Amino acid sequence: MTLQPWLHELREPIADTSVFRLQKVRARSPRTGQYRTFSVLDAGDWVNVIALTAAREIVLVRQFRHGTADFTLEIPGGMVDRGESPAEAAVRELREESGYTGGEPVKLGEVTPNPALFNNLCHTYLVEGCLRRYEPEPDHDEDIEVLTRPLSDIPGIIASGGIHHALVICAFWWLAQSRPLLLKTSEFTGAGS
């Protein structure tokens, strides 16, 4: 059987927030012809930034997340503003959240954060040679603690649950896949030398 796309016949706005727009979508199955209603979150693209210092330390941010009502350890990132490229957003978010700047952002990859619900992309960038040149300027609804950890510590932090944000873990996967010369396999996987 060859899969065919569902036919979206009606999109009805339900709610509009500063982060996404909730839509009700009426769609018809190409296989059965039956109609179903789905919820879709229409959101702008996001960026994640792996900021690496000359000492091979990763810039991390710790902040409270309302979805889980808990603190998370992440890499700098956020929404791509209207009229801004993902690379520009990566540079802006890195500076705003951490005060760090570095070389030109290099795109490592992109993913669909949750294609069952969201219609956006999350772009991951690497910025090398980072130095803290500014004071962080977080948004009014962000309280952020900036930390650095050796790149070699990241696998253990992930394995212990210290980093559990799926898009951040995916960003480190992109780094491992895209920059094998930057990472020693044993360093990233935690295996012995």
pLDDT value for 180: 75
pLDDT value for 184: 62
Question: What's domain 46-189's superfamily in CATH?
Answer: Nucleoside Triphosphate Pyrophosphohydrolase (3.90.79.10)
Residue 124's nearest CA partner among 177, 70, 83 is: 177
d(CA 59, CA 136): 12
pLDDT value for 191: 47
Domain ranges of the chain: 7-43, 46-189
pLDDT value for 18: 86
pLDDT value for 142: 85
For residue 5, pLDDT over 80 is answered with yes
| pLDDT tens digits, one per residue of 9-18 | 999 999 999 8
Residues 6+ apart with CB under 8 A from 87: 105, 107, 125
183 — pLDDT class (breaks 50, 70, 90): low
| pLDDT tens digits, one per residue of 82-138 | 999 999 999 999 999 999 999 999 999 999 999 999 999 999 999 999 999 999 998
Contact 59, 51 (CB under 8 A): yes
